Structure 1
Amino acid sequence: MRVLQFGDSLLPVGAFSFSNGLESAVQLGVVRDLDSLREFVKAAVEQAATSDGVAVLSAFRAAAAGDVEGIDRADHAVFDRKLNEEMRTMTVRMGRKLAEMADRVLGPSVAGEWLARIRAGETPGCLPVGQALVFAALGLSERDAFAVHQYGVAGMMTNASLRMMKLHYLDVQALLFEVNADAEAAYARVVDHSLEDMAAFAPVFDVLASLHVGAHVRMFMN
């Protein structure tokens, strides 16, 4: 039940306000139908696994070991790899909201201590790290934390697609089911990676994000 609650796409951390780059992709015709949406979401999820997903595992292990410096290193590693302003805004806004929720719901925990450091300006407060700390505080597994992170990336984008494209909602659910089938294999690919191994290469995402900043009509914050 804890996994269900903290992995819920309707968790009040602001995911509804973001599209993870999909809005610009639709506006510019990069994504125009179900097939191109599938390719775009799959690419985003694959990039997430090898970048932010690695930080989830690193932060989870640091939390389990009581390594505060390790937690904050993972936090800075995520923030430093966001090449554009909107992606940085997304991750820290949602991360802080998750930390505030955890502090209220869980009480004193490693997540609450992290929130204090965010407020003091000692660490940026990125969402993947927040997810790791919440799951560590709940006594769940790093595998659960990684799965929820991956699901969140795909879920945010598929939910956004229904607000921008003419799609059957059941087709979108089938797409989400298909994309998430790779979560176990993605975990196996990165389980032994360190923060130095964090990497992502998807120039189209960065170009779309830079164009979105100057867009005249926007439904989403990124």
Structure 2
Amino acid sequence: MSDKNNGRAHCEHEMILLARLLQFSDSTLPVGAFAFSNGLESAIQTGVVSDAKSLERFVETVVRQASNMDGIAFLHAHRSAMSGVYDAVLEADRELWNRRVGEEQQMMLARMGRKFAELSLKISSFPDLERWLADIKAGNTPGCFPIGQAMALAHMGADEKQAFVVHQYGVSAMIMSAAVRLMRIDHLDTQRILFSVQGRVGDDYERVSGLELDEMSGFAPVFDVLVAHHTKTHVRLFMN
């Protein structure tokens, strides 16, 4: 094949990959994200979030926490999937599950993880996800959403930086989707906040990309209190 044809094929591959990354980062992807607020509902009920400014601070905190916890497991799962080391993927799955505080947080990870695997297998062939879903059903692994997402993006050929961006975007987009249903805020403000928060993704990647699984941490006491509050509240729209 000529250099011109090689270049054209590479360009086409990159365009298809970008299109599929956009699809898999879309907030409307039917994996159940709409049912979770990632702590925002309790943050509003307790007054931690009351306006656009406090919402932006909350999203920044959650995104930073996600990079320190889910993001590390995500990167390890992506690297393991790229290397074909399936047992290491399962290790990342278990390590993330064991560090998630609260029943509702674990429920979010497991429900979205399973739905993501089922959706992916409906639209294309993902051998690792098929094996992973079977292990979830057999009770051999918890099935955390970031782990399934990492495997799918690795299979599609996304490098770890591209994949990390997709993961981090999904965290903030979930909260923004909940915000427009929970508080007096318009889509212009949510889009401004979303745009601003994405500006930290490179720094977050550089901070956590060299860390090991046992260095995952999620020290955010206020967030943990909000998670506990939501478990006991009687009036709620979201599952966490």
TM-score bracket, shorter-length normalisation: over 0.9
Partner of 1:192, secondary structure, is coil
Q: 1:121 aligns with which of 134, 139, 151?
A: 139
Q: 1:20 aligned to 30, 38, 42, which one? A: 38
**AA at the equivalent of 2:145:** L
Q: Shift of residue 190 of structure 1?
A: 1.1
Please list every run of at least 4 consecutive aligned residues from structure 1 whose deviation after the TM superposition is greater than 6 angstroms: none
1: distance between equivalents of 2:230 and 2:133? 30
Q: CA deviation at 1:49?
A: 0.6
Match of 1:83, as an amino acid?
A: V
1:75 aligns with 2:93: yes
Structure-1 separation of matches of 2:229 and 2:72? 28
- After TM superposition, the score normalised by the length of structure 1 is 0.98
User: Distance between the aligned counterparts of 2:117 and 2:162, measured in 1?
Assistant: 18
Aligned residue for 2:91, secondary structure, equals helix
State the alpha-carbon separation in 2 of the partners of residues 178 and 37 from structure 1. Answer: 12
Residue 204 of structure 1 deviates from its aligned partner by 0.9
Compare CA radii of gyration and give the structure with the larger one.
Answer: 2
Using the TM superposition, give the Cα deviation of residue 188 of structure 1 relative to its aligned residue in structure 2, in angstroms: 1.1
Tell me the CA shift for residue 56 of structure 1: 0.8
Q: Does 1:166 align with 2:184?
A: yes
The alignment status of 1:199 with 2:217, answered yes or no, reads yes
Give unpaired runs (5+ residues) of structure 1: none
Whether the aligned pair in 2 keeps the contact of 1:74 and 1:195 (CA below 8 Å) is: yes
RMSD (Å), alpha carbons: 0.9
Encode CA deviations 1:49-93: one digit per residue, 9 max, x unaligned. Answer: 111001111001111111111000100111111110000000110
Partner of 1:188: 206
Unpaired runs of at least 5, structure 2? 1-18
Of 102, 115, 124, the match for 1:106 = 124
1:194 deviates by 1.1
Alpha-carbon distance, 1:168 to partner: 2.2
Matched, 1:87 2:105: yes
Q: Which structure features the higher share of helix residues? A: 2
In structure 1, C-alpha distance between the alignment counterparts of 2:54 and 2:112, rounded to whole Å: 27
The reply to whether residue 5 of structure 1 matches residue 23 of structure 2 is yes
Alignment-derived partner of residue 3 in structure 2: none
Shifted more, 100-109 versus 62-71: the winner is 100-109
Percent identical = 49
User: Aligned partners of 1:143, 1:132: CA distance in 2, in Å?
Assistant: 11
One-letter amino acid of the counterpart of residue 40, structure 1: F
